[in-house]
A and B are shown apart, each in its own frame.
Chain A
Amino acid sequence: MVADKGRMSAKRFGTGLVTLLTLTALSLCPAPAAATDGALAEADSLAPVPSLAPPVNVRAVDTDNDRGSQIDVSWEASADVEFGRVEFYRILRSSHPDTGFAAVGRVGFTQTSYVDAGMEDETDYYYRVAAGAGEELSYSPTIGPVVSRPHWFNMGRLNCLVAVIIFVLAIIIFVTWAKGGRDLFIRRLPGLDEVDNAVGRATEMGKPILYITGLSGISDVATIAAINILGEVAKKTAEYNTRLIVPCADPIVMAVEQEVVKEAYAEMGRPDAYNDDDVFYLTRSQFAYVAGVNGIMVRQRPATILYMGMFYAESLVLAETGSSVGAIQIAGTDAVTQLPFFITSCDYTLIGEELYAASAYLSREPILLGGLKGVDAFKFMVGVLLILGVIAATLASSGVIEANFMAPLYATG
């Protein structure tokens, strides 16, 4: 019996030892992969998922004062921008609220607006904006519908329109007065008074007059003003039978100048004195033009040189060469940066707006003088407004009045 109990104990001990060894061996062996992944997936589903925060307060409105087919989309930045997690925003558009969204634009994470263009007018559109980082996107709720429409008036330019209307009225009033025979005083412009003397001097010396209208094309108002003056100068050269040389840098300007000079000669009863070869095309190239004109100055030694119109870096090279050949020089330009050069090198200079007044001043036609007085009246109004603006800005900066009370006036379209 005792022997049987002893065998039973030994058997239990053996079984327990084998079980312990088996468990120990199992714990030392690597576990199957599926079991591990399952365990991790279960762990992840329990932890919070760090996804991107979407942009908020997304708005989409029809663009103001536009030609149509444009919608302004704006939003507030994703909360994850400050953690550096957002790389870009993607803008999506659809004509249905639930489906069919397609990306129409992408902007950097620092931007919070986008102008979407190219859609059909008068059609409902829906927008979503997604914050993105790599492949991950986090979408805002859908907003809409929004409709784009073309506009028939740019409200941002209303101030400009009011100013233009006042300006036109001022000119019409003064032109009407001038037509009625009212005497209009125009201050003296010494440069233009000297044109007569300059033409006379060239006649006495038997030398030509050189007229240069700058490098700009016909679409530049300064060139047109220069052509207007050319007409008056050509009448004087036709009267005195003095040669007038006009080298051009633009073929269209050349065609117009040929016509202007020809008409001026015809008007003075000297059509035969007009020579087509004296109003000619040189080149469009800036410094090739300078070389050509300087060559004419040095070879022909003109007694008078007139520079009227728009000039660039060539102004000083031309004017200094003209000065070196002993010509009387009269310049007129609206190029503010070139004015000092002309003032230094020329005998007389028409500064800025005087160029535009020259044609009326030389022709003395009452209607043109009326226009000139209209400009002066408008300029006076602008001056008064400037003074009022300075006073208002000073008061606003000192807190006496609201700082942004003039904001509508600054609006531009």
Chain B
Amino acid sequence: MMRRQIPLALCFIFGVFMTIQYFIPHHTIADMQERVLMWLQTLLAFAFLLGTVSLIKLHYHKIRNRADDRGYSFVALTGLVTMMALGFFHPQHNLPGSPFSLMFLNVQVPIEATMFSLLAFYIASAAFRAFRARTLEATLLLVAACIVMLGRVPIGDMIHEGIPQATRWILEVPNLASKRGVMIGVGLGMMATSLKIILGIERAWMGGGD
């Protein structure tokens, strides 16, 4: 009983407080809000400990149980331990040229850049799939995409001066209107979800049930 009532009560109190502080600028309320946000930051710092424990536990179990993909777990744990050791035990680890910094800049950053660069290839494959003119909607999308792509490069203007203008119209009228429609719905949906959570109507985030 208490296991559910206490989180619900806390959610209601802080939810109502954060709502009314938006309308009350008085420093008494503003100071309290800043304090709550500081608590949040403190909680987040502790939460990373939770994450690290989860990560270590998962990969340790995989190695211990001799799972098929335990090689990856070994690499993940080695990386975690190495970076932690370099960070904790090397003085001035965040200075340029330190082993921690070298590992970060020469291992993690290039790997992440590689992952990001994959996006270009995936955009090409997704575009190829999206632009197949099999239906009326897909054909319209194909035509609109061609106009926008041509209007964004100098050759579009060289072909016809109306292409950049058509591009602008597509982006500023139908595209923006539909974006705004989605955004209004999203805003109201967010408000409704927040309200349902604050009032305790929506409880699935606690694991469902009553």
Contact = CB atoms under 8 A, between A and B. Distances in A.
Contact of A352 (B54, B69, B126, B186): B186
B191 A368 contact: no
Interface stretch (A104-112, A136-144, A147-155, A198-206): A147-155
A263 interface: yes
Give the interface centre of B24, B61, B108, B189 by most chain A CB atoms within 10 Å: B189
Contacts of B54: 251, 254, 280-281
Contacts of B184: 379, 382
B171 to A, nearest CB: 13
Interface stretch (A12-20, A39-47, A286-294, A400-408): A286-294
Interface in A302-358: 313, 316-317, 319-320, 334, 336, 339-341, 343-345, 351-353, 355-357
B50 A363 contact: no
Interface in A237-295: 248, 250-252, 254-256, 259-260, 262-264, 267, 276-277, 280-288, 290-291, 295
Interface residues of A, number: 88
A263 B189 contact: no
B188 A379 contact: yes
A252 B204 contact: no
B44 A252 contact: yes
Interface string A62-80: 0001111100000000000
A367 B196 CA distance: 10
Contacts of A264: 207-208
A177 interface: no
Nearest to A378: B188
B201 A154 contact: no
Contact of B129 (A267, A288, A344, A356): A344
B50 A255 contact: yes
Nearest to A333: B186
Nearest to B60: A277
Interface in B152-210: 179, 182-186, 188-197, 201-202, 204-209
A274 B183 CA distance: 37
B89 interface: no
Contacts of B194: 221
Contact of B196 (A150, A334, A371): A371
Contact of B207 (A260, A317, A334): A260
Contact of B195 (A168, A217, A225, A344): A168
B111 A291 contact: yes
A227 interface: yes
A68 B26 contact: yes
Contacts of A168: 195
Given A254-B51, A264-B208, A281-B50, A374 B192 contact: yes
Interface in B112-150: 112, 115-116, 118-119, 122-123, 125-127, 129-130
Nearest to A221: B190
B25 A67 contact: yes
A328 to B, nearest CB: 16
A206 to B, nearest CB: 16
Contacts of A217: 44
B183 A352 contact: yes
A188 interface: no
Given A277-B57, A353-B188, A157 B22 contact: yes
A94 interface: no
B72 interface: yes
Given A154-B25, A371-B196, A316 B183 contact: no
B2 interface: no
Give the interface centre of A255, A264, A341, A356 by most chain B CB atoms within 10 Å: A356
A81 interface: no
Contacts of B190: 221-222, 334, 356
A413 B22 CA distance: 10
A310 B196 CA distance: 20
Contact of A344 (B51, B116, B126): B126
B13 interface: no
B48 A251 contact: yes
A68 B27 contact: yes
A161 B23 contact: yes
Nearest to B40: A219
8 contacts: A65-B25, A219-B40, A225-B193, A287-B111, A320-B122, A343-B130, A345-B126, A353-B185
Given A153-B23, A252-B43, 18 more contacts: A67-B25, A68-B26, A150-B25, A150-B26, A151-B25, A152-B24, A153-B25, A168-B195, A171-B195, A221-B194, A252-B47, A264-B208, A281-B55, A285-B108, A336-B186, A352-B183, A356-B189, A371-B201
Interface of B: 19, 22-28, 30, 40, 43-44, 47-52, 54-55, 57-58, 61, 68-69, 72, 108, 111-112, 115-116, 118-119, 122-123, 125-127, 129-130, 179, 182-186, 188-197, 201-202, 204-209
Interface of A: 65-69, 150-154, 157, 160-161, 164, 167-168, 171, 175, 217, 219, 221-222, 224-225, 227-228, 231-232, 235, 248, 250-252, 254-256, 259-260, 262-264, 267, 276-277, 280-288, 290-291, 295, 299, 313, 316-317, 319-320, 334, 336, 339-341, 343-345, 351-353, 355-357, 359, 363, 367-368, 371-372, 374-375, 378-379, 382, 413
